[in-house]
Chains A and B, each alone.
Chain A
């Protein structure tokens, strides 16, 4: 039986196409991925991301524990700040990418739905091995989470929430209460747009959507519902890695271009392996590709150099609705990763010309 989010009835009423997403019944699209994508770039969209894992850590060793499992230095993290970080295995392989936030009473972590159970097991094992004293609470199913993204959402949300949204820095958060309902607003997201992610009690989900967005079903509404299909094309244009595509246990964060999120001056699980990779230089690198024509290079498509020699593989590809170009992220040999390098995507035997371009493909102006 697939898990349902507190917004399930809303999705059905809005005509969503629901699919199995990491064990959750999630909306992939309501009407059109491209329309929902453009609505996000031009105005605003609401995405149900309640399937993402939400864990809380408290107790005397919570900070020590997180310092041990996260690639970033959390000792310097301030109250009210959230940070992107990686959780690695001993070999430096990526177990997950997460957002960790520091509150007065606890640390909170948002992880990928597909990795939640694996992470919880890993955390229990670390706690046991290192005899650490902390509590871990899984709040995923007792809360709901929505991402509201787009150039017009901050003004809209400022009208309804008793929070100084405009004054918030990116990657900061506030916890407040409204009508006796606690909620947390993060100024973060995964679309390349400005926006917020809001966590609320599951029971308050329906009320919150109405309040935050007004009438979603009007064709000219500032904020409309968007599915995970649009979320994927948006994040790809913004060059953001996705677990299972750009990130996985067989890869490492240095090759993925996430060296900025790895603090090699501290010791953490995987740091020895990652120091070695950083010292030698990664053998392959994640690059952005632009393809000639309209064909899409999907995950697994081989990339070859100008002599036809295989040099890598596509991890994600789409036809960019914003740029009207075929784009992809791919791992290629480090020697072929310079901007402007001419390569080809092997589309079932047809060599489609492509070149290495800067990623993100799209940057908000």
Chain B
């Protein structure tokens, strides 16, 4: 699957998509494939304040456990509760149904400072 060009990325594989005045965050297909079957996603509570490059949760697969990071500072306004019972959504639909948190960014322009899809693909060797 091609890496969507309508969003920005971190080297640690999280995508950030600006939707109105919120930023939606999830992880890439590449990361989901590397993790293999995802069994658990720990997400923050609505209202949690996050710092840029801060840790917002944890993701576990049969293989390993990894931290989740946000590229922009802000406050959590929604979390994807569907992942509680169906963490496999991150494997099957990482760029849409497998989203993790929505945050209201302190400075929406910060999203533009993150990696473009082309830069991300270069870093992960998919270009």
Return chain A residues, CB-CB under 8 Å to B37: 32-34, 321
Chain A, residues 292-335, CB within 8 Å of chain B (1/0): the string is: 01111010000000000000000000110100000000000000
* Interchain CB contact under 8 A, A296 and B36: no
Instruction: Tell whether A319 pairs with B40 under 8 Å between CB atoms, given A33-B62, A33-B63, A233-B62.
Output: yes
**A353 interface residue, CB < 8 Å from B?**
no
Residue among A229, A296, A298 making CB contact with B40, cutoff 8 Å: A296
* Interchain CB contact under 8 A, B62 and A294: no
Q: Which A residue's beta carbon lies closest to that of B41?
A: A294
**A29 interface residue, CB < 8 Å from B?**
yes
* Interchain CB contact under 8 A, B36 and A32: yes
* Interchain CB contact under 8 A, A229 and B62: yes
Within 8 A of A (CB), among B41-79: 42, 60, 62-63, 65
Chain A, residues 225-254, CB within 8 Å of chain B (1/0): the string is: 000010001000000000000000000000
Return chain A residues, CB-CB under 8 Å to B63: 33, 229
Return chain A residues, CB-CB under 8 Å to B62: 33-34, 229, 233, 318-319, 321
Q: Which A residue's beta carbon lies closest to that of B63?
A: A229
**B87 interface residue, CB < 8 Å from A?**
yes
Determine the distance from Cα of A229 to Cα of B40 in the docked complex, in whole angstroms. 18
How many interface residues does B have (CB within 8 Å)? 11
Determine the distance from Cα of A319 to Cα of B60 in the docked complex, in whole angstroms. 10
**B39 interface residue, CB < 8 Å from A?**
yes
Return chain B residues, CB-CB under 8 Å to A229: 36, 62-63
Return chain A residues, CB-CB under 8 Å to B40: 293-296, 319
Within 8 A of B (CB), among A198-212: none
Determine the distance from Cα of A314 to Cα of B36 in the docked complex, in whole angstroms. 22
Return chain A residues, CB-CB under 8 Å to B87: 294
Return chain B residues, CB-CB under 8 Å to A319: 39-40, 60, 62
Return chain B residues, CB-CB under 8 Å to A33: 36-37, 62-63
Interface centre among A293, A294, A318 (most CB of B within 10 A): A294
Determine the distance from Cα of A34 to Cα of B37 in the docked complex, in whole angstroms. 7
* Interchain CB contact under 8 A, B60 and A295: yes
* Interchain CB contact under 8 A, A29 and B39: no
Determine the distance from Cα of A296 to Cα of B66 in the docked complex, in whole angstroms. 12
Determine the distance from Cα of A298 to Cα of B65 in the docked complex, in whole angstroms. 9
Determine the distance from Cα of A29 to Cα of B42 in the docked complex, in whole angstroms. 25
Interface centre among B39, B60, B62, B87 (most CB of A within 10 A): B62
B81 → chain A, closest Cβ, in Å? 14
Within 8 A of B (CB), among A18-68: 29, 32-34
* Interchain CB contact under 8 A, B36 and A29: yes
Determine the distance from Cα of A319 to Cα of B42 in the docked complex, in whole angstroms. 15
Determine the distance from Cα of A160 to Cα of B91 in the docked complex, in whole angstroms. 38
Return chain B residues, CB-CB under 8 Å to A29: 36
Return chain B residues, CB-CB under 8 Å to A298: 65
Cβ contacts A to B, 29 pairs, < 8 Å: A29-B36, A32-B36, A32-B91, A33-B36, A33-B37, A33-B62, A33-B63, A34-B62, A229-B36, A229-B62, A229-B63, A233-B62, A293-B40, A294-B39, A294-B40, A294-B60, A294-B87, A295-B42, A295-B60, A296-B39, A296-B40, A296-B60, A296-B65, A298-B65, A318-B62, A319-B39, A319-B40, A321-B37, A321-B62
Point out residues on B near A: beta carbons under 8 Å. 36-37, 39-40, 42, 60, 62-63, 65, 87, 91
Point out residues on A near B: beta carbons under 8 Å. 29, 32-34, 229, 233, 293-296, 298, 318-319, 321
| 6 closest A-B pairs by CB | A319-B39, A294-B40, A34-B37, A33-B62, A33-B37, A33-B36
Extra pairs beyond A29-B36, A294-B60, A295-B60 (4, CB < 8 Å):
A33-B62, A293-B40, A296-B65, A318-B62
